[in-house]
Amino acid sequence: MTVERDNTRSYPRSVYMDHAATTPLDPAVLEAMLPYMRDDFGNASSVHRLGRTARGAIEASREQIAGHLNANPEEIVFTSGATEANNLALNPLSSESHLVTSMVEHKAVLEPTQALESSGVRVTYLAPDHKIGAPNTDQIANAIEEDSCLVSVMYVNNETGAVAPIREIASVCRTRGVVMHTDAVQAAAWMPLDVEDLGVDMMSLSAHKMYGPKGVGILYVRSGVELSPQVLGGSQERGRRGGTENVAAVVGMAAAMALAVNSRDAAAVRVQTLRKELECRLMDSIGDQLVINTPLNAAPHILSTAFSPIAGSPLDGEMLLLNMDLEGISASAGSACSSGTITPSHVLLGLGLPDQTARASLRLSLGRSTTSEDIALTAECIVKIVQRMRRQRVG
């Protein structure tokens, strides 16, 4: 049965403010992918013409991505995304090793880390320096011990946009003989990723956070760093990750990264200006209740906010999001919705926010298509909803 949309109904203007969750596929990226979804559909492990064409596309994409990272092609391992890449980076740790990470990492690092703890790996979880929203260099240096094997700190926090001093942390790790890994997913569309300049030994990236397809990512692994495969059953990726390659997605990731590199600087300046405009609009209207979790020197695209209780009563974070959706604004909380409740974000709690305030959080993330009109509409919507919810509590 075909369901037709009621064109007589008035729908609100749609504003997408959730680019940190995923970005729309760039049309140029789709065009690059289409040949490998239609005519050139071969398995890259096959020796016939279609297979060789697929293999050539994968290796050309590997070279392109390596070039953008200032890496060698053989240092690029294709994965299903950054979650798998993070798990792969942590996989070599043995029960007698020590890992240093932070309390505000993505769950794609924290959950495998907790699994490693259960198998005997010692883990040090660092609280963030509240000034920068991430561990500082001194914290890392003090946490490294004789048996430390790996430090994993994300480049840009996915909830607050806080930027860690990756270059300085990597320098400390290099001096101490410790491998340095960073989850750079949120940095990819906005910040330089030269692995030689940053000094990292491993880096996780995901295509769909930079206008590429979902389901593909990479782990950069510096030559000489040991890597234990966790997906077995094939010799693909030089034996480091088994499974038939998603050729179209790999090509799409290379195309998306090329577009990101070409537009990065100008886009970052424009989006940062818009983010500051949004913050100012909100502060001017509801600053007495608004909490800004995004530090000053953050990545340009993320504004993390939260709302303090009204007359002793916490704001309902889920209702805030639902009301925004009804107004046509797509955003997210810095927390996970489950069974009708919102669990406070571990990142915001790690930054010291009270539980009730952390439950009423809102992450607004901008992108290439975000306009000043989008900013005005989003601010107007948030102010209207918060003021209405405030009246309901004090009335």
Q: Catalytic amino acids? A: 337
Candidates 219, 173, 208; CA nearest to 20 is 208
As a whole number of Å, the end-to-end CA separation of the chain is 47
Instruction: Report how far residue 358's alpha carbon sits from residue 83's, in angstroms, rounded to the nearest whole number.
Output: 25
* Residue ranges of E strands in 32-178: 76-79, 98-102, 122-126, 148-152
Candidates 335, 385, 377, 357; CA nearest to 160 is 335
Candidates 336, 381, 380; CA nearest to 359 is 336
| Residue 25 burial (C-beta neighbours within 10 Å; 0-12, 13-18, 19+) | middle
Phi, psi torsion values for 222, nearest 5 degrees: -60, 140
Q: How far is CA 56 from CA 35, 46, 59, 163, in A?
A: 13, 12, 5, 36
Q: How far is CA 40 from CA 44, 80, 163, 249, 250, in A?
A: 10, 21, 41, 13, 14
What is the DSSP track for 13-49? Answer: PPEE-BTTT--PPPHHHHHHHGGGTTT----TT--SH
What Rg, from alpha-carbon coordinates, does the chain have? 22
Angle between helices 107-118 and 82-90 (to 10 degrees): 30
Which residue type is seen at 261?
V
Angle at 360 between CA 359 and CA 366, to 5 degrees: 115
The number of residues making up the chain comes to 395
Task: Name the residue with tokens 């997913």.
Answer: 185
